Structure 1
Amino acid sequence: MSGNLIITIGRQSGSGGKLIGEKLAEKMGVKCYDKELLSQAAKHSGLCQELFEKHDERPTSSFLYSLVMDSYSMGYAAAGYSDMPINHKIFLAQFDTIKKLADEESCVIIGRCADYALEDYPNVVSVFIAGDEKDKLERIKTLYNLNEDRAKEVIVKTDKKRSSYYNYYSNKRWGDPRSYDLCLNSSSVGPDGAVEAILAFAKLKQQWKNRK
């Protein structure tokens, strides 16, 4: 376990969470891991990257989740992930990769239950980015060249997928303020303002922790 500063970002679809994470990483002079995390996990586990993309932030059943956690606690992950089903392997490989990154460097990690994977790390700031519906719709319409109805569908489906994944694999609730150190509405402050707010909060959290 290291003293590296890790900022994890959960985000609503269309909130600009990825953009904010990238800007934040640039400001900090560190790497931002989003899809890049998948290639890292594939490299470290020896599994095909396409499998990670297929299962990326997709929920599984609570029964399978319990098997995953049982396997992890028994140390199967360290032994090449054993002969468990593929979705078990994908989750554990990402879980291990997130911890490996946190041990090696300060960085920003987007989604994928990173805040849960690193909950015992002292220098982690977990952030959730939300946004006003109008702004989220406009961002998705522009990003994917969609009409408003289709953009609404994308937002609903993406948020449902992310929340289901997070709720299955963590002991917290996606989007619940109690699950994060800081929740921000990007529509209120804009991407650059969100970056400044997160950095200021990280500094305050560090100062408060050092007083204890």
Structure 2
Amino acid sequence: MSHYAITIARGYGSGGRRIGQKLADRLNIDFVDRELLQLASIESGINEELFGEADERLTKPLLFKNLRKNRVGNVLTPEQNGFISDENLYNYQAKVLRSLLERESFVVMGRAADFIFRDYPNVLTVNIQASREFCVKATMEYNDLSEKEAEAFVAKTDKYREDFYRYYTGQEWNVPSNFDLCLNSERLGDENCIRLIIEAAKLKIGSDFVVPKE
């Protein structure tokens, strides 16, 4: 039996991370989020802090030259120039995800994983969104913020995700054609989103996708 992965892109406040965690628990497989930075650090031998710092540097205008270039590629070795460049740090994350898929099944959040696995038949790519009003309300409750603060936080986080996706893939984030399945968590709720993801995985992945008996 081959392994499989389910990638989840999501708008902040949509509940996508919560749905992903519940889905992984339901399927009894690993849930990969920020842990990916640690795994990439172990794989490359590069300090984990540098991976986090690369994410922070993404917000600087200097990096947004030639945005249409796809930066996902092969990793560089320590003796090569650019070994600790932002692109190489990201490519180590991509390498780790591909290697992980050879060993086990998992749900992975963000990191443009849908692009990394775009040609894999044993991967289902999912995008979970909700209205801005819904996301702001959820953010107010979860982070104990005022409406104005929550609005700013949601907008800033989604802009970061959009920029991250564009910078590393050369494509636009949150475009339906990038994904196998797009869901509105506000209208469907967590449980129905999980059910639909499972049904879609059965259709795309086939016999390699097994749902544990409850």
TM-score bucket of the superposed structures, by smaller chain = 0.7 to 0.9
Q: CA deviation at 1:207?
A: 4.7
Mind listing any 5+ residue stretches in structure 2 that lack a counterpart?
208-214
Q: CA deviation at 1:86?
A: 2.5
Given the alignment of the two structures, is residue 131 of structure 1 paired with residue 134 of structure 2, yes or no?
Answer: no
Counterpart of 1:79?
77
Task: Give SS of 2:14's match.
Answer: coil
AA partner of residue 141 (structure 2): T
Distance in 2 separating the partners of 1:30 and 1:159: 27
Distance in 1 separating the partners of 2:44 and 2:70: 19
Given the alignment of the two structures, is residue 196 of structure 1 paired with residue 191 of structure 2, yes or no?
Answer: no
Task: Give SS of 1:10's match.
Answer: strand
When residues 191 and 156 of structure 1 are mapped into structure 2, their CA distance, relative to the original with a 3 A threshold, is same
Given the alignment of the two structures, is residue 142 of structure 1 paired with residue 141 of structure 2, yes or no?
Answer: yes
Whether the aligned pair in 2 keeps the contact of 1:81 and 1:89 (CA below 8 Å) is no
1:169-188 equivalences in 2 (<5 Å): 169-188=168-187
Root-mean-square deviation (CA, aligned residues, Å) is 2.4
Distance in 1 separating the partners of 2:123 and 2:146: 38
Given the alignment of the two structures, is residue 40 of structure 1 paired with residue 39 of structure 2, yes or no?
Answer: yes
Counterpart of 2:107?
108
Q: CA deviation at 1:133?
A: 2.1
When residues 8 and 67 of structure 1 are mapped into structure 2, their CA distance, relative to the original with a 3 A threshold, is closer
Counterpart of 2:49?
50
Distance in 1 separating the partners of 2:68 and 2:172: 15
Q: Deviations over 1:152-184 (max 9, x none)?
A: 111111111111111222254211111100000
AA partner of residue 112 (structure 1): R
Whether the aligned pair in 2 keeps the contact of 1:3 and 1:122 (CA below 8 Å) is no
With the length of structure 1 as denominator, give the TM-score of the two structures.
0.86
Whether the aligned pair in 1 keeps the contact of 2:71 and 2:168 (CA below 8 Å) is no
Q: Percent sequence identity over matched residues?
A: 33
Whether the aligned pair in 1 keeps the contact of 2:94 and 2:116 (CA below 8 Å) is yes
How many equivalent residue pairs? 202
Q: CA deviation at 1:66?
A: 4.7
AA partner of residue 42 (structure 2): K
Q: CA deviation at 1:54?
A: 2.5
Distance in 1 separating the partners of 2:80 and 2:67: 15
Q: Deviations over 1:134-155 (max 9, x none)?
A: 2211221122211111111111
Counterpart of 1:92?
91
AA partner of residue 31 (structure 2): C
AA partner of residue 108 (structure 2): I
Distance in 2 separating the partners of 1:161 and 1:109: 18
Distance in 2 separating the partners of 1:149 and 1:141: 9
AA partner of residue 64 (structure 2): S
Distance in 2 separating the partners of 1:138 and 1:11: 16
Task: Give SS of 1:79's match.
Answer: coil
Distance in 2 separating the partners of 1:108 and 1:173: 22
Greater helix share, structure number:
1
Q: Deviations over 1:70-117 (max 9, x none)?
A: xx4xx5x25348220531222111111111111211100100011111
